[in-house]
Amino acid sequence: MPQPIPQHILDALTDVEMPHLQPEPEFPDQIDIGGHRLPLYRCESLVVGSGAAGLRASVELKRRNVDVAIVSQSAWGGTSACSGSDKQTLHTANTADQGDNFKDMARAIRAGGAMDEDTAYIEAVGSARAMASLQFLGLPLPQDHLGGTLRYKTDHDEIGRATSCGPRTSRLMVQVLAKEAIQQNIAFFNRTTAVKLLTSGQGDDRKVLGLLAIRAKEQSDSNPYGLVLFKFESCVIAAGGPGELYRDSVFPNGCFGTLGMALESGLALTNITESQFGIGTRREGFPWNLSGTYVQVIPHIYSVDDAGEEHHFLADYYRTTQELASNVFRKGYQWPFHATRMLDFGSSLVDLAIFRESQKGRRVFMDFNRNPLPVPGDLDFSLERLDEDVRTYLANAGADHKMPIERLRHMNPLAIELYRRYKIDIAEEPLEFAVNNQHMNGGIAVDTWGRSNMPGIYAIGEASGTHGVTRPGGSALNAGQVFGTRVAEHIAASKSCTPTDVAELEGSATETLDQIKTLLRPDSALDAKSVREEVQARMSDYAGILCTQEEVKTALEAACALNARIRDNGLSFDRPSEIARVLQWQQMALASEAVLAALNHFIANGGGSRGARAVCDQAGSALPQSRSGPLNDLRFRVENDADKEKQVLVRLEGNQMMLSERLNRAFDEDAKAFFERDWPAWLTGGVYDIVGKES
């Protein structure tokens, strides 16, 4: 039997204190732009975002003698620090019971399709280095007594590549990387909201010059908006995903991402049709995914209506108590909703049932002090009457306790401690939850070095569109670490001796400031609050786990109309401190239109159900079943296999979203490196594919 874990160890893994930032550097210069006097900071490279991916890029840039600075809306306030992930997926070459190789891992990463094969291989190869460097920095990844990393299976993973430091794994990653960034004395500008990338030129000749950001502390009579300028040679966008896009979201509050800013700058987005949805507690309280042991201990799930009456609603979907309980368990490693798992009484019927209860206006809870109630007419719940895979797992874990809370305390006491930190004692009271948006798998289109379509701009982490349709749980963290290192390598190799012209920066900043002034109209009937309510409701109601071609088309038309109203009428605000949010919601409205445009394009061209969404269609060939018969209103299209081989791209030209498609980049698994032939490319920098580098 496992030894009881002392409370001080549980506390250390749950209460992860983040380091205090050093004093911010001064803005050494000021520049007059359109009647505003703006502080100006110069650096070679600017990283936007202070999550695990952004911090990785920053410390790797500093190690390569690049003058780097970080801007962050809220230090340690993003997804990886606040909600994040409880696992890191890695190559398992350090164990031998099931075997692994980089090609196998790459196939698993890209298995859902719509992902570049070379990117998947890069993430696989880089995972070992990412893990080792995190351990070097102090990340306490668990080991056995012989030094092997302890690991387990996660969603979309049959090998067992996941490892975990407990529920705060990603926060611990941010912690060790933050300490390294502070140790390296990297310039860090906190409470600084990036709002506009400054560029010059047109088409293929367009280039980045700098960034316009807002800092409330810089507001003054000569700078009423609190604007600041950053001038640089390269920019790494690592500001996460558009968590505010959905009303039903497990993202921390204030996660806007940069999709709207990227569109306005001429960057191409890819795969923004692809998201992840799953069960979790909402951000109104403590946002957290209810995967892993939370559901593997098989709590009782029920809903409550307005009259206070409980409903054992899962019993309307599953035929037997054993089938119901076994699929609740499987949500532990099949956490994301997937349309195909609604078939054959699979685990995504759980998500569907919860989603429909929420649509009825009912609140949904899981109770760890009760086992699942029986399906009417069937036997009571019993640990002896579970599907073989479930029964075997619980037996191997020694989780033979009578009640779910006892099984949870045995298997993962940290799961209980985590919620206690937020005044929720799941050992004493039921836990309210819902189906929420959790991750954007698409984002800014990048190549194998993290480069966007505009020279000088890179994107990593959830801001980049590298994740495909499905991915093993925890591999997004790995991708951010791998590409954070790669962009640093590329930027260091690409350093130019010729700085950009300050006059160009002034011209772009003046034009952008004029655009901001045009948007900000105190007399407008539109404000950030009304935009937020409209965007979030539309995305949650018509672009969630269930959608139809007609609903998506109608939602797109409404999104286009909203952006037209914003362009015509601007947005109002009451005080200068609201301006950053006004600009972010204008950009979020733009991002919403882009997502709906891509989704409409995909569905209208025959796209089927994959990843996050079921495309409901009465002509579809897939029909989920429930205990009482077929769910005819949920008949859906199956995925078109040809769609797995390509990606949908979106660019903003004028006021129009331009849609296109491209095939996934291929990876030749038969190609082999040869030392003497390939070493010169490494020595000379040829591996970096740098065109026109000035020496």
For residues 275 and 241, give the distance between their C-alpha atoms in angstroms, rounded to a whole number. 10
pLDDT at residue 114, rounded to an integer: 94
Contact 647, 114 (CB under 8 A): yes
Residue 540 clears pLDDT 80, i.e. is over it: yes
Q: Give the bridge partners for 42, in sequence order.
A: 231
Q: Which two tokens stand for residue 209?
A: 């010059």
Pick the most confident of 100-104, 131-135, 289-293, 617-621. Answer: 617-621
Q: SS3 of 663, please?
A: strand
Long-range CB contacts (within 8 A, 24+) of 617-625: 617/548, 617/549, 622/339, 622/340, 622/343, 623/343, 624/342, 624/343, 624/349, 624/352, 625/343, 625/344, 625/345
pLDDT at residue 227, rounded to an integer: 97
Domain covering 521-645 assigned CATH 2.40.110.10 in the classification: no
pLDDT at residue 693, rounded to an integer: 46
Residue 682's H or E segment, with its range, is helix 675-684
Side chain identity at 448, as an amino acid letter? T
Contact 71, 261 (CB under 8 A): no
pLDDT at residue 98, rounded to an integer: 57
Q: Which two tokens stand for residue 656?
A: 């129009």
pLDDT at residue 91, rounded to an integer: 54
Min mean pLDDT across 13-17, 18-22, 157-161, 529-533 is at 157-161
Where do you find CATH 1.20.58.100 in the chain?
521-645
Q: Which two tokens stand for residue 225?
A: 């908006």
pLDDT at residue 401, rounded to an integer: 96
Name the phi and psi angles at 227, rounded to 5.
-80, 145
Per-residue pLDDT tens digits for 53-96: 999 999 999 999 999 999 999 998 887 777 655 555 555 554 55
Nearest to 413 by CA among 135, 63, 3, 25: 3
- pLDDT bin (cut points 50, 70, 90) of residue 183 is very high
Angstrom CA distances, 375 to 315, 491, 586, stand at: 5, 59, 48
Residue 400 clears pLDDT 90, i.e. is over it: yes
Name the phi and psi angles at 536, rounded to 5.
-65, -40
Compute how many other C-beta atoms are within 10 angstroms of the C-beta atom of residue 147: 7
- pLDDT bin (cut points 50, 70, 90) of residue 1 is very low
Angstrom CA distances, 655 to 95, 211, 421, 520, stand at: 53, 22, 46, 18
Q: Which two tokens stand for residue 33?
A: 């732009």
Residue 496 clears pLDDT 70, i.e. is over it: no
Share of the chain above pLDDT 90, in %: 74
Q: Kindly report the three-state secondary structure assignment for every residue of 235-265.
A: EEECCCCCHHHCCCECCCCCCCCCHHHHHHC
Q: Which two tokens stand for residue 402?
A: 């009578």
- pLDDT bin (cut points 50, 70, 90) of residue 128 is confident
Nearest to 177 by CA among 188, 167, 166: 188
pLDDT at residue 94, rounded to an integer: 47
Nearest to 358 by CA among 277, 458, 454: 277
Contact 332, 296 (CB under 8 A): yes
pLDDT at residue 473, rounded to an integer: 67
580: Cβ–Cβ under 8 A, 6 or more apart, which residues? 193, 195, 214, 216, 226
Residue 97 clears pLDDT 60, i.e. is over it: no
DSSP-assigned letters across all residues of 510-522 = HHHHHHHHHHB-T
Q: Which two tokens stand for residue 352?
A: 């569907």
Nearest to 343 by CA among 623, 694, 612, 124: 623
Name the phi and psi angles at 367, rounded to 5.
-115, 115
80: Cβ–Cβ under 8 A, 6 or more apart, which residues? 51, 52, 53, 170, 171, 173, 174, 240, 477, 480
Between 45 and 495, the more confident residue is 45
Q: What is the DSSP letter of 347?
A: T
Q: What is the DSSP letter of 345?
A: G
pLDDT at residue 87, rounded to an integer: 52
Q: Kindly report the three-state secondary structure assignment for every residue of 445-473.
A: CCCCCCECCCCCEEECHHHECCCCCCCCC
Q: Which two tokens stand for residue 136?
A: 């070097």
541: Cβ–Cβ under 8 A, 6 or more apart, which residues? none
Per-residue pLDDT tens digits for 468-493: 898 776 788 889 999 999 999 999 99
Contact 318, 349 (CB under 8 A): yes
pLDDT at residue 2, rounded to an integer: 55
Nearest to 158 by CA among 408, 369, 304, 333: 333
For residues 318 and 313, give the distance between their C-alpha atoms in angstroms, rounded to a whole number. 10
Q: Give the bridge partners for 646, in sequence order.
A: 663
Average pLDDT rounded to a whole number, residues 601-629: 95
- pLDDT bin (cut points 50, 70, 90) of residue 48 is very high
Q: What is the mean pLDDT of the chain?
A: 91
Compute how many other C-beta atoms are within 10 angstroms of the C-beta atom of residue 687: 15
pLDDT at residue 88, rounded to an integer: 55
pLDDT at residue 265, rounded to an integer: 95
Q: What is the DSSP letter of 75?
A: T
For residues 49 and 61, give the distance between their C-alpha atoms in angstroms, rounded to a whole number. 14
Per-residue pLDDT tens digits for 571-586: 999 988 899 999 999 9
For residues 325 and 354, give the distance between their C-alpha atoms in angstroms, rounded to a whole number. 15
For residues 577 and 291, give the distance between their C-alpha atoms in angstroms, rounded to a whole number. 38
390: Cβ–Cβ under 8 A, 6 or more apart, which residues? 325, 326, 329, 330
- pLDDT bin (cut points 50, 70, 90) of residue 418 is confident
Number of H helices, E strands in the chain: 19, 26
